[in-house]
Each structure stands twice: as structure tokens, then as C-alpha cells.
Structure 1
């Protein structure tokens, strides 16, 4: 829809990625430790997928950022023995040590995009009740679009002079590009795990076609590098409390 011009020129790109799996002082994971996961946590773990998705959907790259990071739980109870990711809710370690935390629980980031569009992203791993919710809304000069990962079959379409719409996933209603990554008929649920299947299928198809001059329609190392540049700028902005340009 965006590529066809139905949205018009993107004005505002906004959204969030919210989780609650690190809400409690007793919640623990290796990502909390800078020596293992890096100096950024929420931004690198869940912020970068949102930023990458917005560039993929709109075709626009971020030019500069202004970031506010916060660590609410400055001391956590680190288990004396290792535990698996997301197992903390089911299994608590009786033996713990107090561990100072420097990685962020939360971030809000103002974004300037290439076409002078503006954006804002909020990420948090301490948002009670939000298990793994990625949400975005894009407001354009003609219409708006929004999508919620916890309601993956529905795409909201906002209009000024007509009734708003809710497009439900149905291959017969989708553009050919979108239809190609739908495996089941309308009304049959597809979810998070299916995205990995579709990714692998895209990679295999690209290799089989053998035309490497064509731009891939899946994430590449270049996309990963772009997210590293964004993360570095976000961290620099938060430390210096100023706008930071993306160093490309």
C-alpha cells in the first residue's frame, strides 16, 4: 500500500515495543550484563527490530536521533546458578547476589527521517502486562496505517473523509507481494513462528533464482550494520543529551 502511494508522503512514524519479562528485581537474564550483551539492552534487543521494520515498510532511513534512556531497577537479584531466558516466571533461584545494573529498562527516541518525516519510538522491558507487543502507526498525507503484533491479522487504515477500515488477512484481498508470504486461507491464524518460515523461504528462493543484482526482500548483513549504526547514535545521544546524526 505504501509503495503504491496509498499512504501518500509519510509524515509521522510512531510506535513502541513493550515487554514485561524483566519487571521484577528477581528477573534475570544475561542481556542485563554489559559484558555479555553490550552497553545497550532494550534498544539493542527490541528497539532495533522496530527501527529495521519501519525502514523496510517505508523505505526511509533515519538521519538523526535524540534518545532518553532510563534504568529503573538499578540493583537486581542475580541467581547464583544460570537460568534460561523467560524461565524466571516459572523458576526462581533461592540463592542470589545483588548485582548493580547499568543497561536500560526503557528508552524513548525521537527520530528524523530522510524525507523530513518525524518519528518517535518507546521501548520497555518493564511494562507490566505487555508480553511482547510491537506496535506501529504511520501517518501519511493521504491515509494512516497501524498494526499490532498481538493482533497480527488486522491492519487498521485511517482516512480523513471516509470511514476508517480494518483489513483482515485474506489472500484474496492482499497485493501480490503480501499474498506471497501468506500460507493459509483467511481466518486461519498465522503468527510469530511463521515469520521465520517465511524468512527462510525468501532466502532459499533468492539463492535459487541466482540473480544477485536484484535487491533482496529479506534482511541482510547490511541491514544489521545499519542497526548497529543506529544503536551507536542512540547511545551517543543519550550520553551527550543532544541530537546525534547517523554516521554512515
Structure 2
């Protein structure tokens, strides 16, 4: 008889109707049948919160109207009933506050980026995580794609040789309508009290940076930034270009814009090495191109036998059957759940960390907000 694996139990904050990222988290967390959502706070409006929780099939007694109420309520439940982890998918200003509270409340935390809206706050989260020994994961979901894992393998195994430069761009156009009419719609991303000190860099620039780090292991050492607010009256940047020195021998450019008219979600990376270069485009995620020294190209596709073990494991379907964003996100969750199960099996936190589960965490979060602060500071100089 096969072994039946009990599902992990989760809660979620900020995933009500109309929340793109909330839906993504709910779907990704439950896609493989490893977990189910049993509790949550779904709106800052109490009536709407209850209604949306019921629509999602949550027991009314576990629909909370405040995150502090949720921590208290879940801790009153016996083990096996209370949630194991919480997903935080709120606007930026609440990330660090809630992450600290849930870690101290005894729950594993899966947090949408950014980790916090300041480096000092991120370091507070790190301190509490280290004290509690709970799992902390940051959902840079693009790193879950099979071709990103293949690119990482090609770089780390020396297939493209020594890297000399990295070009990464993340261009969206969803804010472009505000250039001609700033009153068309309102978004919290442009409100410093909610978004934090940045709009575009803290929203998508850190995704681009994390993609570079995931594939190459490179971290920025120095930056030279040019940020702009193209939308009239915008207090925060909506466009930015950053020269980055990763080391004495590796430089790069990171470009991020949310006023790139006509663009959807164009996250693209080029990595140039002495033997070959790599190109990957998030809007065509199942293809990775390696351009060789002689000008020829090798094309890697999801599902083929030539892929590394990690890329194969991250694929849900055979070659020719398209996968997408939620599957990539789910790969992050699956790795997080492995780590949580190790702790539930009474392995020590140190041994779990050393297991090397493949998901972004504390250090990636600190790197991201450190980058944002460095870029903002340099832009003013």
C-alpha cells in the first residue's frame, strides 16, 4: 500500500477577487495537491473579506478581518488543524510588518516580493527568522521556469565559459495610459506610503536582478543609475536604467520600465561568455537559445531529453504541451513545501537550510532591497 502524504495547511493574506497575484499564489500553492488553503484575510473591508472568503470555500470561522486576529485564531487551534504556513500577497508596505508578525507567531512565511520597503526592515525580518527557525521564502516566480534552471546549469557547468557581461531588461506598458491622462486609473504602486520609496525598481527591477543572480550567482557591487518619472506628477520612478558592476571582470545593464508602450511582460536576459551566450525571453518561456562562438545556435526546449535534471523535474507536461507562469510559481512552492516537511519531520533548521532547496529566501530579499536603495541613492548624486 502506498504512503499517503498529508497536505500542508496554509493561510493567505490579500488574495481577494480581482487580485492577479493573489490568484497566482492560490493556484500555485495547490496545483500539485501538496497543500490547501484553509484560512485568510481577503480584503481590508470586513464585509467584502467575509464574502470573498466564502466564495473561495473557506470556513467562515477561519475568515479573518485582520492579520493579528488570524495569528491569534490559528494558534488557538490544535496541531493538524491550524495552518502550517502563510502566504502574504499584500501591497509592499505591509510585507515586512506581516512577515515579522507571522514568524514570531510560529508560522512559516511565503512572501511576495519585495521582502520589505527598507533595508533596515528587511534585516529585522532576517533576525526574527533566524531566531524562530521558520522557513522564509520569497516568490521570485520566474526562477521556477524549466529554462531558467537549464540556463543556470549551462552557466554553472562552464558551458558558456567565463562571463563578461549580462544584459537584462523588464519592460511593461501598463502604466503608459497615465502619461496622457494621469487620472485614468489609480494604483497603489505610485503611492510612496504603500509602494515604498520606489515604483518600478522595487516592483520589477528586483525581479530582473534576481534572475541574473539565480542563473549566474552574480551580485551587484556598484551601480550607476538613471531613473525617470515619465507620468506627470508621479512621485516615484516609472523608468530606470542601471549600469551594474558585478565584479572586476563582469559588468551589465539592467533596464526596467512600466511605461514601455505596447509591452506586456517582457522580461529578457542575455548572458555573454567567452565560449557562448544565452538568451531567454519570459514571454516565450519554453525556449532557451545558446549562441556559439562560430555563430551557430543551440535551441533548448522544455521537455527534451538533453535538459539537465533540474529542468526536467520542473516540467509538468511532455514536450509540445505549453506550460506557463503558474506552473513556474508552483515549482517555487513545491521546493518550499519540501523544506517545511523536513522541519515537521523534526530535522533541525540548520540541516534544512543546508539541504539547498531551490527557492529564493532571506538573502535574495536583502539583496533586492539593498539594490533598490543603492539605485535610488546613486540617482540623486
TM-score by length of 1: 0.83
Equivalent of 1:231 in 359, 363, 372: 372
Partner of 2:330: 197
Q: Which has a greater percent of strand?
A: 1
CA distance in 2, matches of 1:162, 1:18: 28
Identify which of 200, 207, 210 aligns with 1:52.
Answer: 210
Is 2:272 aligned against 1:119?
Answer: no
**Partner in structure 1 of residue 162 of structure 2:** 9
1:42 and 1:11, CA in 2 relative to 1: closer, same or farther beyond 3 A? same
Q: State the Cα distance separating 1:107 from its structure 2 match.
A: 0.1
Q: How far did residue 74 of structure 1 move?
A: 2.0
In the TM superposition, 1:145-184 aligns within 5 A as: 145-161=278-294, 163-184=296-317
Say what the alpha-carbon RMSD is for the aligned residues: 1.4
- Do structure 1's residue 65 and structure 2's residue 246 form an aligned pair? no
- State the secondary structure of the residue aligned to 2:155: coil
User: CA offsets, 1:97-141, max 9 Å, x none?
Assistant: xxxx21111000000013520100111101111111100000001
Gaps of 5+ in 1: 76-100, 241-248
Residue 21 of structure 1 is aligned with which of 168, 174, 179? 174
Equivalent-residue separation in structure 1 for 2:306 and 2:356 (angstroms): 26
Mapped to 1, the partners of 2:200 and 2:275 lie a distance apart of: 33
**Higher relative contact order (Cα pairs below 8 Å, separated by 6+ residues):** 1
Identify the structure with the greater helix proportion: 2
Q: Secondary structure at the match of 2:175?
A: coil
2:25 aligns to what? none
Give the C-alpha shift of residue 165 in structure 1. Answer: 2.0
Confirm or deny: 8 A CA contact 1:11 1:139 kept in the other structure.
yes
Gap runs ≥5 in structure 2: 1-153, 179-183
Contact map agreement 2:205 2:256 (CA 8 A) in 1: yes
Q: Is the 8 A contact 1:60 1:115 kept in 2?
A: no
Look up the SS of the partner of 1:2 in the other structure: helix
SS in 2 for 1:111: strand
Give the SS at the match of 1:51.
Answer: helix
Q: CA deviation at 1:203?
A: 0.9
Task: Provide the rounded CA distance (Å) in 2 between the counterparts of 1:69 and 1:162.
Answer: 35
User: Between Structure 1 and Structure 2, how many residues are aligned?
Assistant: 215
Q: Retained in 1: the 8 A contact 2:173–2:258?
A: yes
| Counterpart-to-counterpart distance in 2, 1:172 and 1:3 | 19
The one-character-per-residue Cα deviations of 1:24-62 (angstroms, maximum 9, x if unpaired) are 122431110111101211000000011011111101111
Q: TM-score, normalised by structure 2?
A: 0.55
Deviation of the 1:162 alpha carbon: 5.2
Among 177, 191, 205, the residue aligned to 1:33: 191
Moved over 6 A (4+): none
